[in-house]
A and B are shown apart, each in its own frame.
Chain A
Amino acid sequence: MIVLLVEDDPSVGEFIVAELGAAGHRCEHVGDGIEGLERAQQGEFDVLIIDRMLPGLDGISLVKQLRASDRQTPVLFLSALGAVDDRVQGLQSGGDDYLVKPFSPEELLARLEALCRRSVAADTPLRLEVADLRMDLLTQEVSRAGQAINLQPREYKLLEYLMRNAGQVVTRAMLLEQVWGYHFDPQTNVIDVHISRLRQKLDRDFDRALLHTVRGAGYRLGPPSAEEP
């Protein structure tokens, strides 16, 4: 994943570059809006991370100009402004996701990967497959190893989102935004309860678990990796 970061705060910039580097991604860091727009328009990036407040050209104007020149590179806004209207404003100007500072590196990584994947998988498949789990998007039937699994509508949406992001970490906040459609802060482990119900239906009768909890980050759907028990 090749990332362009437009961020004027050097400490935040260094932190993101280091985190992305550690996760095996390449990241280019630019400190002001005008330079950021020039680099973004050259269009060799998979995803852009853009701060809302920038010297030269603010983040919102940057993305508006970028979209006006028909560049569809996915954009993740970073902002210290946490109010809802700031978030909506950011998304309306052409941003694809919005993250409020301070954030955990897991959240940032998970969102970047989801953005990249979404732009790659632009074609609409008829069927999703993860290991021996299958989802037919036309008939809305789900089966594992040929055995039908009966899901509630919301469980179906939850599973669909997890399957589209299979192999990657998906955070609780992402699930709330994408599956339930609301950006809010649940006070309790309400998502965990939904996940554990889904897990019951997916993994109960099988030796190999597919739905994993990633400590401190979120969930991942896919065959177990080496570091997860």
Chain B
Amino acid sequence: MQVRQVVGSLTFRYIAKYVVVLSASVFVLQLVFYGLYSSSYFRQLSASIVEELETLQVVYRGQSLEGVAQYIDDQRMRPSVRRFYYLVTAPDGNKVAGDLPHHPRYREFNQGWLGFQMAMLSWGKEVDVDFLARPLSLGDGYQAIVARNYQDVLERTTLVIETLFRSMIATVILGVVAGFLSASRSLAQIERLNVELSRIIRSNPQARLDTTGEKGYFREQAVIINDMLDQMESLMQGVRNVSDNIAHDLRTPLTRMRNRLSHLRASLPEQEKAQVGELLEECDDLLATFNALLRISTLEYGGQTGVDSEVQLSQLLEDVIELYEPLANDKQIQLSASIAPGQTCRGEADLLFQMFANLLDNAIKYTPEQGRISVSLGAAEPGSRHTVIFGDSGPGIPAAERKNVFRRFYRLESSRGEQPGNGLGLSLAQAIARRHGGTLELGSNNPGLRVWVDLP
């Protein structure tokens, strides 16, 4: 099974889409949560700054500037991360208290809020830390600024974003891998189903899918397919029985009629014999058609339980050619054969002979005088398949008709009435090829007809 096949499968595409949508929606959800969380954090932060400013104001009112300086000094004893930073300036702009540098570069936010960066020691390193600050006029020209850093929030932001990103990637990778695995599993099941089904269709219409080996939906599907095959078989059986019975039941009275005609002819005067002779021949043709029809049925539905022995394929083909050569010579057809010696296959010699005879007979029939026919059999590696090719320089068969000519009694419009035959030759040849586990294919010989017989 190829990777491309798995990736292109419906299951995989479904799972991939699912993974993408799922991780995107999880991402959006986390983003929303994070936004809510950080906005509430900033609300708390700013509220605490406003509160601290109010405290400063109260301290200033009660204890004047010294009280404020004292208060600020006390605050510096608290742990650094969560504490406030202060700057109190005199009316002339000079710093009178606080631990912020005199002139940090402020960015103005709206509604009187300020933001700035200040270098701070963190874990022994100096880093720029973001601060949120708010100025307030204490009175008498004194200005106070209270600031608080929100580095921890920023750090948490980065952490959360990184975590989000990593978990997204992990989700996608895991999802794709899981999708690949489950798609290849279901594909393997489908493939097994396909192989079994085509085997049933090709060689053994009586066989059924193994439902015990499948699970879940596949078992259900296998059961349904088996029911379908059962129905098909019984329908086919019905049709076959009817047609076989017709052929079979008509054969006996027809033979009786033929034999009576034969007696009649013997008792007739010489000049009337010819007419009855023609009737006799017609009877024989009809009987031959019935026989061919019954043979095709037997071959098609008899399974593959015939006599199976080693057949000298090369010799057999040469025998067929030798038998038909005089027919070709009569039409001055150039019959050329290129047959690799010593090729063998398994099967029934009489049937294979019949098949090749039908094909060669057709070729001779449809090739015009002084045309060409070629028969070839290549040397096959031991264990590989044989291909026998018949090519002729006749009118060929249009591509659209190539499937139809295998149907029983089907004859091309152009050959009707022109050539003798019952329209069963190719059906019989195909039934024989199939019984041997082979195929029969038609193509163009540029110009003419080319027939490939593929045998195991």
Contact = CB atoms under 8 A, between A and B. Distances in A.
Given A85-B307, A102-B251, A184 B354 contact: yes
B265 A182 contact: no
A24 interface: no
Interface string B242-282: 00000000011011101100100100000001000100110
Interface centre among B254, B273, B323 (most CB of A within 10 A): B323
A182 B319 contact: yes
B295 A190 contact: no
Interface of B: 251-252, 254-256, 258-259, 262, 265, 273, 277, 280-281, 284, 287-288, 291-292, 294-295, 298, 302, 305-307, 319, 322-324, 326-327, 330, 348-351, 353-354, 357-358, 361, 365, 420-421, 425
A207 B350 CA distance: 39
Given A180-B323, A216-B277, A188 B292 contact: no
B31 to A, nearest CB: 77
Main secondary structure of the interface of B (DSSP, over half): helix
A183 B349 CA distance: 9
For the complex of A and B, the 7 pairs showing the least CB-CB separation, nearest first, are A102-B255, A184-B354, A182-B353, A193-B326, A85-B307, A85-B306, A183-B350
Contacts of B421: 187
A124 to B, nearest CB: 25
Interface stretch (A51-59, A64-72, A103-111, A112-120): A103-111
A185 interface: yes
A129 B273 CA distance: 33
Nearest to A83: B298
Contacts of B287: 102
Interface centre among B302, B322, B357, B361 (most CB of A within 10 A): B357
B357 A186 contact: yes
Given A82-B298, A83-B298, A182 B326 contact: no
A18 B251 CA distance: 20
B288 A190 contact: no
B420 A15 contact: no
Contact of A103 (B254, B255, B353, B358): B255
A62 to B, nearest CB: 21
Given A103-B255, A104-B255, A82 B295 contact: yes
A26 interface: no
A194 interface: yes
Nearest to A176: B323
Given A83-B302, A84-B348, A102-B287, A187 B307 contact: no
A185 B255 contact: no
Contacts of A87: 350
A104 B330 contact: no
Nearest to B424: A187
Given A83-B295, A188-B327, 17 more contacts: A15-B256, A82-B298, A83-B298, A85-B306, A102-B255, A104-B258, A104-B259, A182-B349, A185-B295, A185-B354, A187-B361, A187-B421, A187-B425, A188-B361, A190-B326, A193-B327, A215-B265
A88 interface: yes
Contact of A215 (B258, B277, B357): B277
Nearest to A196: B326
A154 interface: yes
B252 A102 contact: yes
A181 interface: yes
A184 B357 contact: yes
A127 interface: no
A184 B251 CA distance: 19
A197 interface: yes
Contacts of A88: 307
A105 B281 CA distance: 15
Interface string A211-229: 0000110000000000000
A194 B326 CA distance: 7
A15 B253 CA distance: 13
A215 B268 CA distance: 14
B306 A188 contact: no
17 contacts: A83-B306, A85-B305, A85-B306, A85-B307, A101-B255, A102-B251, A102-B252, A104-B259, A104-B262, A182-B319, A183-B350, A184-B350, A184-B357, A187-B361, A193-B327, A193-B330, A216-B262
B322 A154 contact: yes
Contacts of B255: 101-104
A180 B319 contact: yes
Nearest to B435: A84
B288 to A, nearest CB: 7
A185 B307 contact: no
